[in-house]
Amino acid sequence: MTYRVRIAPDVSNAIMDQAMFVASDSVDRTLAWEAVMRKRIEDLSNMPTAYPVGEDESLRLGYEVRKLNVGDFLVFFRVIETTKEVVVVGLRHGAMLPPTD
Protein backbone atom coordinates (compact mmCIF):
# COMPACT_ATOMS: atom_id res chain seq x y z
CA MET A 1 0.00 0.00 0.00
CA THR A 2 1.26 3.48 -0.89
CA TYR A 3 1.27 6.26 1.67
CA ARG A 4 0.72 9.95 0.98
CA VAL A 5 3.79 11.99 2.00
CA ARG A 6 3.42 15.46 3.50
CA ILE A 7 6.25 17.73 4.56
CA ALA A 8 5.58 20.08 7.48
CA PRO A 9 6.06 23.74 6.44
CA ASP A 10 8.98 24.30 8.84
CA VAL A 11 10.76 21.25 7.39
CA SER A 12 10.18 22.48 3.86
CA ASN A 13 11.66 25.82 4.94
CA ALA A 14 14.65 24.03 6.50
CA ILE A 15 15.27 22.18 3.22
CA MET A 16 15.20 25.49 1.34
CA ASP A 17 17.50 27.15 3.91
CA GLN A 18 20.00 24.32 3.57
CA ALA A 19 19.77 24.48 -0.22
CA MET A 20 20.50 28.22 -0.07
CA PHE A 21 23.50 27.54 2.16
CA VAL A 22 24.85 25.01 -0.34
CA ALA A 23 24.08 27.49 -3.15
CA SER A 24 26.78 29.80 -1.85
CA ASP A 25 29.25 27.12 -2.91
CA SER A 26 27.70 25.73 -6.12
CA VAL A 27 24.34 26.06 -7.83
CA ASP A 28 24.74 22.60 -9.39
CA ARG A 29 25.42 21.06 -5.97
CA THR A 30 22.38 22.87 -4.58
CA LEU A 31 20.05 21.49 -7.22
CA ALA A 32 21.48 17.99 -6.84
CA TRP A 33 21.27 18.07 -3.03
CA GLU A 34 17.68 19.29 -3.02
CA ALA A 35 16.64 16.74 -5.67
CA VAL A 36 18.15 13.87 -3.68
CA MET A 37 16.56 15.08 -0.43
CA ARG A 38 13.09 15.45 -1.94
CA LYS A 39 13.35 12.11 -3.80
CA ARG A 40 14.35 10.23 -0.65
CA ILE A 41 11.50 11.85 1.27
CA GLU A 42 9.02 11.00 -1.49
CA ASP A 43 10.29 7.40 -1.44
CA LEU A 44 8.87 7.14 2.09
CA SER A 45 5.54 6.50 0.36
CA ASN A 46 6.62 2.85 0.09
CA MET A 47 7.21 0.89 3.28
CA PRO A 48 7.84 3.78 5.71
CA THR A 49 7.71 1.42 8.68
CA ALA A 50 10.90 -0.25 7.44
CA TYR A 51 12.87 2.68 8.93
CA PRO A 52 14.00 2.67 12.55
CA VAL A 53 12.14 4.39 15.35
CA GLY A 54 13.93 7.35 16.91
CA GLU A 55 13.44 6.51 20.57
CA ASP A 56 14.57 9.89 21.97
CA GLU A 57 12.55 11.88 19.44
CA SER A 58 9.47 9.72 20.05
CA LEU A 59 9.69 10.28 23.80
CA ARG A 60 10.22 14.02 23.35
CA LEU A 61 7.32 14.48 20.90
CA GLY A 62 4.89 12.01 22.47
CA TYR A 63 4.29 9.90 19.36
CA GLU A 64 6.29 7.39 17.36
CA VAL A 65 8.87 9.09 15.15
CA ARG A 66 10.97 7.26 12.59
CA LYS A 67 14.17 8.44 11.00
CA LEU A 68 15.76 8.35 7.58
CA ASN A 69 19.39 9.15 6.81
CA VAL A 70 19.97 11.29 3.72
CA GLY A 71 23.65 12.02 3.40
CA ASP A 72 24.67 13.97 6.49
CA PHE A 73 21.06 14.69 7.45
CA LEU A 74 18.41 12.94 9.50
CA VAL A 75 14.80 13.23 8.36
CA PHE A 76 12.24 12.56 11.09
CA PHE A 77 8.74 11.44 10.20
CA ARG A 78 5.65 9.87 11.63
CA VAL A 79 3.47 7.23 10.01
CA ILE A 80 -0.29 7.62 10.40
CA GLU A 81 -1.80 4.25 9.53
CA THR A 82 -5.44 5.33 9.76
CA THR A 83 -5.03 7.82 6.89
CA LYS A 84 -2.07 6.09 5.19
CA GLU A 85 0.08 9.20 5.55
CA VAL A 86 3.71 9.92 6.24
CA VAL A 87 4.30 13.33 7.78
CA VAL A 88 7.85 14.66 7.78
CA VAL A 89 8.20 16.50 11.08
CA GLY A 90 11.90 17.30 11.33
CA LEU A 91 15.24 17.70 9.59
CA ARG A 92 18.59 17.89 11.31
CA HIS A 93 22.21 17.71 10.27
CA GLY A 94 23.67 14.56 11.80
CA ALA A 95 26.38 16.52 13.60
CA MET A 96 23.84 18.72 15.40
CA LEU A 97 22.71 17.86 18.88
CA PRO A 98 18.99 17.19 19.33
CA PRO A 99 17.01 20.01 20.94
CA THR A 100 16.69 19.88 24.71
CA ASP A 101 13.26 20.86 25.98
Identify the residue with better confidence: 87 or 18: 87
CB 54 within 8 A of CB 42: no
Burial class (CB in 10 A: 0-12, 13-18, 19+), 61: middle
Q: How confident is the model at residue 77, as a pLDDT?
A: 98
- pTM score, whole prediction: 0.86
Q: What is the pLDDT of residues 8-51, one digit of tens each?
A: 999 999 988 888 776 677 778 888 888 999 999 999 999 999 99
CB 47 within 8 A of CB 84: no
Q: How confident is the model at residue 21, as a pLDDT?
A: 76
CATH number belonging to the domain at 4-93, selected among 1.10.760.10, 3.60.15.10, 3.30.2310.20, 3.30.930.10: 3.30.2310.20
Name which of 95, 84, 80, 67 is nearest 11 in CA terms: 67
The residues near 15 (Cβ < 8 Å, ≥ 6 apart) are: 7, 34, 37, 38, 91
What's CA 74's distance to the chain center, in Å?
6
